[in-house]
Amino acid sequence: MIRCFSKMKFVLLSLALSGACGGSQDSGAASEYSGIESSFAKKEEPQAPAKPAKKSTQPVEGVDIAALDGELATRFNALLDSLASPCGKAHSLRTSRNEDSSCKRAPYAVSYAYELVKDGADDDQIKDLHRLRFRDAPIQSFRYDLSAPHAGDANAPVKVVEFFDYGCPACARFHPLLETVATDMKGDVVIYFKQFPLSSHKDSPGAAQAALAAHKQGKFGAMHLILFENQHEHLMMNLVDYAKQIGLDMSKFRKDYIEAEALVKADRAEGERAGVNGTPAVYINGREYEGPAQPKYFKMWVEEAREGAI
């Protein structure tokens, strides 16, 4: 799930890798840097090479090392030999890319490491992100109900599911990323929006019901945005005002609002079955996204899923 890093020079990871909002630890204004200590407490390293990796400068396909300055090129070369095979083989990433044609994930792993080096991640961060992306993670099953809020072609090869809370600051920050992906990867991705109101945000269940009620009138997107823009104003009088602002039939809105309570509970129950305990929690074809909260990296995961390499 999306986590927050602490005290890192790699600025792009400020909203990456752990539930930024969740449970009793969330006060309603989640710390941007919560969860880093526990995030890597339980390391599940990929299978390490059977023998110490030999340093090599053998080039790999798909990256232009010459585009990196001297220090970065040296670091990237070293990482190719220290990162494990993304396919669980007893050899390095460099060997996977150059010699193991059966490892369909190798090109994606090389590109991932290259971009992380280029963007300023340090070696420990890259090793952790490599481990999280290429570990043997469970695949969850979800309801892809076309009557529920979603964006994109239902027949798209990649299905993204987001469990979120309208009172969660990290969810508000993550929202533009999903909008970018939906626009830039149109036809490849469909995004399903699932409600997961947290107990620490007492007004979030009502906000979730308002969004689903608006969806009944084809206005989910408008309500979705206004609820995120006004995260501290989710009282019933606020929700009624937002409904009026976006032009809803108020009689129908009130009826649908009441009926939406059961739908919100169903969404949350589905998330709990998948192990969600914080928000935003995002899944790509059932695989939990554990990468930087930046469109570039999210798209890399989507592209791999689209090609069936995962």
pLDDT tens track for 225-269: 999 999 999 999 999 999 999 999 999 999 999 999 999 999 999
Q: Are 162 and 193 in contact (CB under 8 A)?
A: yes
Are 295 and 184 within 8 A, CB to CB?
A: yes
Q: How many helices (H) and strands (E) does the chain have?
A: 11, 5
Quick check: helix, strand or coil at residue 195? strand
Q: Are 155 and 276 in contact (CB under 8 A)?
A: no
Mean pLDDT of 68-94: 95
What whole-number distance in Å separates Cα of residue 49 and Cα of residue 59? 19
Cβ–Cβ < 8 Å for 77, 83: no
Domains of the chain, by residue range, sit at 11-137, 150-281
Pair of tokens at residue 51: 């023998």
**Contacts for 281 with CB less than 8 Å, ≥ 6 apart:** 1, 2, 19, 162, 163, 164, 196, 271, 274, 288
Return the residue matching tokens 């420990």.
124
In this prediction, residue 57 has a pLDDT band, given cuts at 50, 70 and 90, of low
CATH, range 150-281: 3.40.30.10
Residue 24 CB: number of other CB atoms within 10 A? 8
For position 12, what pLDDT does the model report?
Answer: 46
The model's pLDDT over 5-33, given as tens digits with 9 standing for 90+, comes to: 333 344 444 344 445 787 544 433 333 32
pTM recorded for the entire structure: 0.85
